[in-house]
Each structure stands twice: as structure tokens, then as C-alpha cells.
Structure 1
Amino acid sequence: MEAHAQPAGPFAVGTFSSGDGPRFAGLVKDGRVLDLRTVPGLWAPGDRTTRALLERWDDVLPLLHAAAGTDDGERLPLDGLAVHAPVEPRQILQSGANYRTHVIDLAVAHEPEGGRPAEQVRAETAAMMDRRAAEDRPYVFAGLPSSVTGPYDDVVIPAWCAKPDWELELAAVIGRPAYRVPAERALEHVAAYTIANDLTAREAVFRRDMPEIGTDWLRAKNPPTFTPLGPYLVPAAFVGDPGDLRVTLRLNGRTMQDESTKDMIFGVARLVSYASRAVRLLPGDLVLTGSPAGNGMHWGRLLRPGDVMEGSITGLGLQSNRCVAEDS
């Protein structure tokens, strides 16, 4: 595993299980996991999930630091545990068309044969993005939590899906509730970061039968397992500048995406602020920040059963998902 695939900081938090046992929130440090259900003073009455931790994040974080700094409690070997999606979000807010190079590449790829020259498409798309940035107009839509799967689970390609594509993304995880927060305060509401692979059925994006309505994100983005998440929640303070992280996806060992979050048109703070203008963001919610260049549409190579995607982002760890056909 490369250095940038190691989780940053002294610890991370995730969701685990052992054998047929129940899932539990755990603290990951040095290849071992502390079952956080056993840590006194950490929990309010109710459930003991990572989302419950995020609901009390300001109070919980110092206790997690303390737990990481002692040898109290049983530590389980990480390689003997199943690693699940680190949080169950109530809401997923997804940013589209947020990396300059990616947007340009997709515009060129979607241009009909015999249409505008590639250089014209690139110039017009770049001008469009400059206007959006100047007018502070991100593009954000809602995803469904039922699409979330674990960082090492299989991705099931639906029988109807002929053009499944990968989109590795930085995901901001909300701690404090956020509603109509200004961009200057938005990062105060981000508790942690994790990795999301926001898969897309490319043939379902545009409703050809209803062009006046446009995109069909329900079908294109939300089949079960189409959002591998994790492996961990890495506290924001350990990550540093979210606008300067490396996003890398390998397909069967070949690097397909390898870009810095510096290429984002709108940074994390802008996206969280913009989403909070429309909806009330809740602890555990995800704000996905868009995918960089290097998707399957760019390469002319879409996902097939048997493919293995490995995704990493600086300081957030590594996820690995095998693609399988629905009927298998």
C-alpha cells in the first residue's frame, strides 16, 4: 500500500464486525481496533453507532483522543474484522461537474460524432466553468443512503446497466448540524473526511424521452452498492487542507484517476455552505465533492464483472471493490 493510502493522524473511527457478531463502532490505531462500546462516558442513551458519535462530536473527540492515548480496553486485530461503511448517513448531497479537467473531458466525450471540434468544446466548457465559479453556482443533487456499501464489498452491476463508470471522490462528513451557514464557517460543521466511489450508470444519466427535464440521477446513481464508502472516518483536524489532497483510482492495477483536489472549482467549504442553503445538514450526512478526471468515459473503458477498483485519497486510507454481475 502506498504512503498516501495510510490513514492520517493518531487514530481513525470505523464500523466493524467479528464473525456473525453485531456491527460496532471502533477506534483504529496501529492495525488494531478498540471496541468503542466499552469506553465509559462516550455514549449518550440510545444507539452506539458512529452516527451517534457524530451527533456529539464536540464532546466525543477529546474522549477519542484519550482512548487512543491509553492501553485500556481490548484491542482486536484489524485483519480479523470485517470493515463496513463507516457511517450510515441520513442524507447524501452530491456535487456534479466540480473538477475542471473532468468536466472538459466529459464534454468532449459526450459531443456527438461530427459535432463541434474538440478544442471548441474545451474552450466553451472552460468559459462555462469560469462563469459558474464567478457566480458561486455549484451543482448539487441528492443521493440515497441505500446505495452505500462497504469499502471492501462487491459492487453489483445491475443487469440493465451497460455503461457503469467509476467516480472516486472526497466526502465531507457532517458533525454539527448546518443550515444556511456561510462558507467562512462551513468547515466548522465538518467532523471528518472519508472516501466515496460515486458510481454512475452513464446510459441512464440523460432522459432522452424527456430532454426538457434533463438528468435522471435516481436511476444513474442509486442502485444498491453504487456508493462504496470508507474505510474510515478520519477527523478533519488530521487531514489538513482538504483542497490539497491526492485522489487516485486504479482499475485492475492500472492508474485511471490521479488528480489533486486543487482542481476543484468549488472547495469543501463552498459546497457545504451551498448545500446548507437548501437543506438542513445533519450529523453523519455526506457532502460528496465531485470526481476528478480519468473516468471510464474518458478512457473508453467502462466497468465489467471481474474488475477490481482500488481507491485512495491522501490520509484517508484505501478501499478495494470487485465488480460482479447482478445475476452472479
Structure 2
Amino acid sequence: MTQPNYALVRFQESGDTKPKTGLVVGERVLPLDGDINSLIQHWGTTESELDAMAASASDETGVALSGVEVLAPVEPAQVLQTGANYRKHVIDLAVAHRDAGQDAEEVRTKTAAMMDQRAGQGTPYFFIGLPTAIASATDDLTLPGYSKSHDWELELAAVIGKEAFRVSPEEALEYVFGYTMVNDITTREYVFRKDMPAIGSDWYRAKNAPGFLPTGPLLVPAKFFGDPQDVQVTLKLNGKAMQDESTQDMIFGVAKLVSEASQIMPLRPGDLVLTGSPAGNGQHWGRLLQDGDVMEGTITGLGTQLIHCKDEQ
């Protein structure tokens, strides 16, 4: 018998008082014991059991996926975010922020050469996010009233499966449990501190408002996901594709990111390592998020996010 692919979710049924963890096979959800982090941490002993459950599932097993509320699939203790990790994205940003009088093509060529050098000799750029910003793949996104510069950044995220500390790039993917999708919302005007320019970026204010990290809907185990460097990242705004890029455009791949992140701090089961966002965010288009906007995000194999935006009342 061929082993069916499956994914994991966190969900609630009507009347539930607390979230459940579920195994998604086709259009059915099979409830599981324990929370998602416990399942990830004990994967070595639960994997075969879940494989067997998926193999024996039928159209009558569990509950209908359409009949439950799907929550964010992870509850990380730590969220590591990666900046400037798509070659085309970085080049576009450099052109957009060039000094007055600078030639656009000259900046593009110079930045491309810098990115090629960085890929071979440099290291990723990380910063820390807060788990409290996580929301589900269908929660409304409230746009805080303190700014009109909120932007989208759809990303692939690796979910750590076992403690990783100072692991090599060659072994790093062995520490990845699976993958999920995030939209790393950013308030552009808050990224840089104008009152203290020497300090530089202020990622706390720019990225950690409630709901600024829509996550999921699915957590797909690595064995079913395939090559993380060959999936398509697509975000549509009100039906129009704004981001549509392969993860092949990453400057540093998932293995390098996990390895480098683990050099400073131990990564724990359930932690998220975001991998950066491709070209095509709102800043690039000169069109930032507004009341009534609908973002539809897809990454190959990870389901669909559908986020409705509304102004803060």
C-alpha cells in the first residue's frame, strides 16, 4: 500500500474549550493526543503511528476539514526572521532607495555583484520576532492606526524538530521537522529609527503587532515536502499576483539558515526559522495595505492563506 501524504494542523471544533492537534489526510482531520510541540519533540516514536493512521484513514474517519476552525499550526518558543535573503528582492530595494542622481541600472548591476559575493562568502541576517504576533491563515488582519505603511512579505518557514546547536549546513536539514507558510507583515515607516539613526533597524515596532505573522494553515513534515529550494511563493492582492517567485532565488538556502541560526542560540523543537521574502512587496509596487484588501498566499504544498485586512477602529 502506498503511504499517503499527510499534514498537521491545530484546530477547534464548535464548543471546544482548547485547541486540538490533528492529522490531515485528504479532506479529513484525525484528532491526535497531545499538543503540537510534544508531537514534534517525540516524532521518533510517533511517526510510525501517524503513518499507520494515515494509511488506514477513510472518507468517514475523523471530522471534515471544512467543518473545523483551523488555527496557526505551530506554537514556537522562538521565532527567527531572516532579512534580505532573495537576490531579486534585495536588488529591487537597492534601486528603489538609491540616492538622487544615481543611475538605476548601475545600482542594479553593483548590487547584483554584491549579492553574488554575499552568497559565496557572507552570512544571513537574522532578527528576533515574537510568538505573540502569530495568527491563523484566515484571521482578519487589523491594520494599526498609527501608520498607513503596512506591507506584506510571504515566506517559507522551517519548523525545527529537535534541538539544534552549532550544527553544520550539511546536517542542518536533519533538524528540520517540516515546513509551514507565514506572511511576515511589516510597518515600513517603523523599520528605521529616524530619531536614532545610528541604532539602525527597529524590528520590534515594525513587525510585532497582533496578527502580524499569519501562519499556516498546514505544517507539512519534511519527508512529504520535498526540496525546500524548489517551491513557488505566490501572494495575490485582491486577485492580482504581487509576489510570484521560486525559492531558488534565495541567497542562503534553508540548510545554511538553520546552521547559521544555530551557531548563536540553541534552536528548540517547534521553533520557526523564517527564510525571507521574495521580490514584489508593497513597497516595490508603491501600494501598501488598505482597509478591505484581501491577501491570498500560497506556497507549493502548504495550502492557502486568505487574509482580510481592516483598519483599526
- TM class, shorter-length: over 0.9
What is the distance in 2 between the residues matched to 1:36 and 1:141? 33
Of 207, 213, 222, the match for 1:236: 222
For the residues of structure 1 that align with 2:57 and 2:235, how far apart are their CA atoms? 36
Aligned to 1:54: 40
How high is the TM-score relative to the length of structure 2? 0.96
Q: CA deviation at 1:176?
A: 1.0
**Residue among 77, 93, 102 paired with 1:90:** 77
CA distance in 2, matches of 1:104, 1:57: 40
Structure 1 residue 110: Cα displacement:
2.3
SS in 2 for 1:278: coil
Matched letter for residue 87 of structure 1: V
Could you give the per-residue CA deviations for residues 13-39 of structure 1, whole angstroms, max 9, x where no partner exists?
A: 0000011312100011111101112xx
Question: Could you tell me how far 1:70 is from its partner in structure 2?
Answer: 1.5
Q: Is the 8 A contact 1:35 1:74 kept in 2?
A: no
Q: Which of 96, 108, 112 in structure 1 is aligned with 2:95? A: 108
What is the 5 A alignment of 1:72-221? 74-112=61-99, 114-221=100-207
**Are 1:17 and 2:3 an aligned pair?**
no
Could you tell me whether the CA contact under 8 Å between 2:28 and 2:61 is conserved in 1? no
Instruction: Identify the match of residue 33 of structure 1 among 9, 29, 37.
Output: 29
Structure 1 CA distance for aligned equivalents of residues 49 and 95 of structure 2: 50
1:325–1:20 Cα change, 3 Å: farther
Distance in 1, matches of 2:46 and 2:98, equals 50
Aligned to 2:243, the other structure's residue is in SS state strand
Taking the aligned partners of 1:310 and 1:116, their CA distance within structure 2 comes to 36
RMSD: 1.3
Shift of 1:74: 4.7
Residues 290-316 of structure 1: CA deviation (Å, up to 9, x unaligned): 000111111111100111101111111
Structure 2: runs of 5+ lacking an equivalent: none
Runs of 5+ consecutive residues of structure 1 not aligned to the other structure = 1-8, 38-47
For 2:289, which of 303, 325, 328 is the aligned residue? 303
- CA drift at 1:201: 0.5
Q: Distance in 2 between matches of 1:87 and 1:285?
A: 8
Residue 235 of structure 2: SS of its match in structure 1? strand
- Whether the 8 Å CA contact 1:57–1:176 is kept in 2: the answer is no
Q: Deviations over 1:214-234 (max 9, x none)?
A: 000000011110000000110
Letter in 2 for 1:96: G
3-state SS in 2 of match to 1:192: strand
Q: TM-score, structure 1 length as denominator?
A: 0.91
CA deviations on 1:274-303 (whole Å, 9 max, x unpaired) are 000011100000000000011111111110
CA distance in 2, matches of 1:118, 1:14: 45
8 A contact 2:282–2:288 mirrored in 1 = yes
CA–CA distance in structure 1, aligned partners of residues 151 and 101 of structure 2:
24
Q: Which residue of 1 aligns with 2:52?
A: 66
Query: What is the one-letter code of the residue matched to 2:31?
Result: D
Q: Deviations 1:105-139 (Å, cap 9, x if unpaired)?
A: 11222235x24221122122222212322223111
- Partner secondary structure for residue 159 of structure 2: strand
Distance 1:275 1:71 in 2: 38
In the alignment, the residues of structure 1 paired with residue 190 and residue 97 of structure 2 have an alpha-carbon distance, to the nearest angstrom, of 13
> Given residue 69 of structure 2, which amino acid in structure 1 is its aligned partner?
A
- Cα distance in 2 for partners of 1:71, 1:226 equals 35
Percent of residue pairs bearing the same amino acid type: 56
4+ aligned runs moved over 3 Å, structure 1: 71-74
